[in-house]
Structure 1
């Protein structure tokens, strides 16, 4: 089979559409006439003709490269089929069932699991249960983005926030990226669609005084108290604490260092922790044994965390992830420079950490406004 990239100039606009022509040989009719077998695939990319500006030329270069990449993948698929390797893209795979499989892999990461699960529910509301990858194109993706912005509702029947819209859209995009790796689709139709623009959100945290009150109160699940306070003193995420083993807890020159691979980013982290945080690790176990053995995610544990905070007189909406926020704000408040805090949190970009610095700016504004009127 031959595959050619075809360009067709529009008669009414300056666009040049791009498509692939599949030539599959020919057959002869009973009358002896030759009938060529061709089929066409219209691509989502296009060129601008004439390309008068640098932006037009850059656009053409990128789109032509993308179209050539699709052609190369189609050729590879054709060759694999010819030589008996992994054959055609499994585009008839059910999209919902595929994403359910991805969600099952995230059960030990409560926040991430919840976001994926919510995203799937909205996707089902938008497209139903029977959508296959065959029907997922750029128009489908843009339709999902529009549905999230206009029609999707929260449990309390309000519109989704911009951050929720962006989060749910990016889950679909991530699923499509994984589908490429799994050989289901050749390219991601969400690649050229931008998610909703996010907004800064309030990050709840505990003050030092509130944290001290928590320490004095009992929690229904002692391991939950132990792990949460450890998060407040180290900034480690739930997912990394939950899977932490004793082999990742190392002693170095009289200090304790956690050497672990982040569950979210897959990157290795080297985190030196304080003696105070080390005490919350408890008694050392076997190398392959989890440090926080009985720690798990459930509605009971979430309620226990909430009741524990209420016993300490804390009425804030505290989740386990607030331990990480607490660590960040305390460090900045105590004068640790932001670059160091960023490294301690394992952030890839400094702008992620700057969100916590803005929290302190708000507190400073509140402080100066507390001065009573002097006139």
Structure 2
């Protein structure tokens, strides 16, 4: 089989002089054609070069498939049901474990929507609208957006690979992100957790450390000794690549954070039976669902034992927070404590790795005592109705 990229000159009124690209295919002495669905105006040099490069990429891909067949390698043919296979293959190329899990969840949502599979040629505007509608009916808005984002990435890649002629992503609006409520703990509640025992000391220590060093839980899970280094101004900092956005970040470790870090190191030495190597994970968190379940058990125990010690407003907060607490609360807690302590939005945003300061503003929650002392600043005076009321 032999492939040649060719074009023909169009003669229509609106496209006169334009080039329409196709593949000339010679197979077993017979000649076939495959239209690439690409039309370009040679007078528009920039767009013409882009269109030509796109067609050449498709030709190169077809030629690689032919070489694979000649070598006895089975190459995928994306027929009925194989858009899901295509998405699965893309997921296998992801190296980050967390991102790979998220991609797998998105593919599962696609399998639920198309249990019998979907021909890649049927991926169009109408299909994408129906898929996003299905996601919104089955999942929360932000989860639906997350899954949609990944499948839309697969659609764009299929367009680049020449399996889809027109990109429906340009015609269908992405599901908007819904701003979620920031949930956190007060420092008084953290103090109760600190003195409340739990048999899984590794998870307890990890959460408390995370409250004072606001990493994302995914970054905390893989933190090693190689990520801890001396800071320029004294003390130590966490130096790492974010798992979510793959940016290099550094976060100074607070004094209280160092207390919990050293506790975690001691637990790790016991766990490994030796001193820590540079690439040994420091924190023993385990499966995220078990981690979340452990936090609820631990927090409810703290409330039952020591809840009466809290001021009324905080006690009410901890009564429901102890039942809803999750690993993400630690990062939220750290940011909120910094802002309540008087840290600037710019500094906290830098620590959290936020680009937009509006994102950091979501963490600006005021402590109940601060609210009371602020309201107490209101002026008071005796009004004319005081005597009538007494």
TM-score by length of 2: 0.68
What's the CA shift for 1:288? 1.8
Structure 1's 106 and 126: CA in aligned 2 closer, same or farther, altered over 3 A?
farther
- RMSD of the alignment, in Å? 4.5
Bigger Rg, which one? 2
2:55 to 68, 71, 74: 74
Contact 2:23 2:59 in 1 (8 A): no
Q: Note the residue ranges of structure 1 that are not aligned, 5 or more in a row.
A: 28-34, 48-60, 154-159
SS where residue 362 of structure 2 aligns?
Answer: helix
Structure 1's 129 and 257: CA in aligned 2 closer, same or farther, altered over 3 A?
farther
Tell me the equivalent position of 2:276. Answer: 285
Structure 1's 258 and 26: CA in aligned 2 closer, same or farther, altered over 3 A?
closer
Tell me the equivalent position of 2:167. Answer: 189
Mapped partners of 2:8, 2:370: distance in 1 = 64
Moved more, 336-345 or 83-92: 83-92
Contact 1:220 1:304 in 2 (8 A): no
Matches within 5 A, 1:209-358: 209-252=188-231, 254-282=234-262, 283=265, 285-292=276-283, 294-313=284-303, 314=318, 315-316=320-321, 317-357=324-364
Q: Deviations over 1:262-319 (max 9, x none)?
A: 1111111122111211121223722122111x32125333221110111122432111
What's the CA shift for 1:116? 4.4
Mapped partners of 2:100, 2:62: distance in 1 = 37
2:35 to 33, 37, 40: 40
Contact 1:213 1:312 in 2 (8 A): yes
Q: Deviations over 1:185-230 (max 9, x none)?
A: 5889354132122332212111111111111112231111111111
SS where residue 361 of structure 2 aligns?
Answer: helix
Tell me the equivalent position of 2:129. Answer: 142
Q: Deviations over 1:40-75 (max 9, x none)?
A: 3446x999xxxxxxxxxxxxx9xx95x974552222
Contact 2:225 2:277 in 1 (8 A): yes
Mapped partners of 1:355, 1:285: distance in 2 = 38
2:111 to 120, 124, 130: 124
Mapped partners of 1:108, 1:26: distance in 2 = 44
Mapped partners of 1:349, 1:323: distance in 2 = 21
Matches within 5 A, 1:141-160: 141-149=128-136, 152-153=137-138, 160=139
Structure 1's 323 and 103: CA in aligned 2 closer, same or farther, altered over 3 A?
farther
SS where residue 152 of structure 2 aligns?
Answer: helix
Contact 1:328 1:341 in 2 (8 A): yes
Tell me the equivalent position of 1:30. Answer: none
What's the CA shift for 1:161? 3.9
Mapped partners of 2:329, 2:11: distance in 1 = 54
SS where residue 363 of structure 2 aligns?
Answer: helix
Say whether residues 1:96 and 2:84 are aligned partners.
yes
Contact 1:21 1:38 in 2 (8 A): no
Q: Note the residue ranges of structure 2 that are not aligned, 5 or more in a row.
A: 70-74, 266-274, 304-317, 386-390
- Choose between structure 1 and 2: higher helix proportion: 2
Say whether residues 1:2 and 2:6 are aligned partners.
yes
What's the CA shift for 1:142? 2.7
SS where residue 24 of structure 2 aligns?
Answer: strand
| Equivalent pairs, count | 333
TM-score by length of 1: 0.71
